[in-house]
Amino acid sequence: MHRFENKTVVITGASRGIGAAIARRFAREGANLLLSANEESVHAVAEDITSSGGRATAFVGDVTDKASVVALFNAAESTFGSVDVSIQNAGIITISRIEDLAEADWDRVMAVNTKGVFLCAQEAISRMRKHRRGGRIINTASGQARDGFIYTPHYAASKMGVVGITQSLAKEVATESITVNAFCPGIIETDMWAYNDQAWGKLLGNYGPGELMKEWVQGIPMKRPGSGEDVAGLVRPRIVRPRPARIAALVLATPSISRTILRSRPNIRACRSRRMRIPCRRVGRISGRPNASSTVNAASGAKCPEGPTT
């Protein structure tokens, strides 16, 4: 079923892992795809999609550079005519003891993970406002946006910043048929998690390759890590809907693939305080509770007992 026929989806960090999996999911549903990454391998993902009958264009750029971000969205408009969905997925991590954490590593992680989300969301919203068709902004946060883990203070700070951006922007654009949401992946089998297993493993007890992840996965009821396809299957139907959506400022916690976290209904209140203005001018219910807030962990779940939710 081509539910996203004639819809344009921009995805950053799309050369592998979660980003590539989300791209393939949208391709199967007929979307026009503008795939971005800072490495040439993003072309291979686009070529794989087009060879299977999809529509995808690759763009090599830098989400921390304003001019590069503008060029990315210019490419989306010139190729497909509009921007309907923008998924800010580019992200990096380094792991070290605090005394070994270089200022350059702090700056780079914050630039890619937080500034990159801001610049891309800023440009996407500008295009959506211009075309007056509404749109969907989706930001990749992390379990560490809810609970920072050891040896990664910069990464935790960067992902908490993503949640703040999500909440603030959702309130600003709620009356313009633009929704802004974030999701928080847990232990997912990607290149990043291969690095995490190795780096944390050395610092937490001299684990061999794969041993630490195997231990942490035992805290997940299904006893396995998630996959990019699992995340893509969550993002598409639950956050990005082809029909008008009324779920905004939702931080969707996905600490593992073991449980369905979302328990919300349409018409969600977008502000915490009853005295604050409701941006979407609707009052709804979450889990049967009237006037519940969707701004901070409207959907929540427990993280793995012994491991992080990166």
Q: How far apart (Å, rounded) are the C-alpha atoms in residues 217 and 87?
A: 27
Give kind and range of the element (H or E) at residue 233. helix 228-238
Measured distance CA(260)–CA(176) in Å, rounded: 29
What radius of gyration, in Å, describes the C-alpha atoms of the chain? 19
Decide: helix, strand or coil at residue 238: helix
The Cα–Cα gap between 64 and 78 comes to 22
Q: Which amino acids are annotated catalytic? A: 155
Looking up tokens 């794969």, which residue turns up? 210
CB-CB contact of 141 with 85 (8 Å): no
The interaxial angle of helices 66-80 and 116-131, nearest 10 deg, is 40
In angstroms, the first-to-last Cα distance of the chain is: 33
User: Vertex 113, ends 222 and 33: CA angle to 5°?
Assistant: 80
| Angle value at C-alpha 100, between 164 and 112, nearest 5 degrees | 35
